[in-house]
């Protein structure tokens, strides 16, 4: 579901702005097709929705292949999310909040095929370092920072900076955002 507090085209424009107005930014295109996938579900008439679903499925697969980003429409994605340094992104979370930064080679998902409902929640303002793995029904709190190559399998409190395998709190952020 797309954010309800902004129209579809305004949301696309905001995503474009978030990706530095770079028409060729792979993160922008992954979000574009994600937003399109959600928009097409708002079409009530099956005769209209069916061709849009075909377009979405083709473009979703092309985005996986060409951009290296897997972001299914079923993930609730907030506003101003930046997918930096494309490639190797498996973003099968329950929710990704507003103002989140996600870097390359990130895995968000369930811990195994038998627990499909256990997907992470990434709260507003979180920053995920390159190569981080966040698995299971865990929450990365507001304004938290997950270090590069960290493996998160437990909740991360708001404002925490975590790193390591498994991830442990390194320190709490002391800036005004916490």
Hey, which residues are catalytic here? Answer: 85
Pull the structure tokens for residue 139: 């929450």
**Neighbour tally for 64: CB within 10 Å:** 17
Q: Is 174 exposed, middle or buried (0-12, 13-18, 19+ CB in 10 A)?
A: exposed
The closest alpha carbon to 121, from 151, 88, 155, belongs to 155
The closest alpha carbon to 26, from 113, 138, 102, belongs to 102
CB 75 within 8 A of CB 94: yes
H or E element that contains 106: none
* Main-chain phi, psi angles of 131, to 5 degrees: 80, 5
């Amino acid at each position: 579901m797309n954010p309800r507090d902004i129209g579809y085209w305004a949301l696309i424009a905001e995503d474009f702005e978030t990706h530095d107005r770079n028409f060729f930014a792979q993160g922008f295109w992954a979000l574009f097709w994600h937003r399109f996938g959600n928009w097409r579900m708002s079409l009530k008439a099956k005769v209209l929705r069916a061709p849009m679903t075909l377009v979405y499925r083709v473009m979703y697969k092309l985005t996986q292949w060409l951009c290296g980003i897997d972001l299914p429409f079923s993930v609730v994605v907030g506003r101003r999310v930046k997918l930096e340094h494309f490639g190797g992104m498996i973003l099968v979370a329950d929710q990704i909040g507003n103002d989140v930064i996600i870097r390359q080679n990130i895995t968000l998902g369930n811990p195994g095929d038998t627990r499909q409902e256990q997907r992470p929640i990434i709260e507003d303002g979180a920053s995920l370092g390159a190569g981080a793995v966040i698995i299971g029904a865990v929450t990365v709190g507001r304004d938290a920072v997950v270090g590069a190559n960290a493996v998160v399998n437990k909740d991360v409190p708001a404002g925490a900076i975590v790193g390591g395998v498994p991830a442990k709190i390194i320190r709490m952020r002391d800036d005004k955002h916490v």
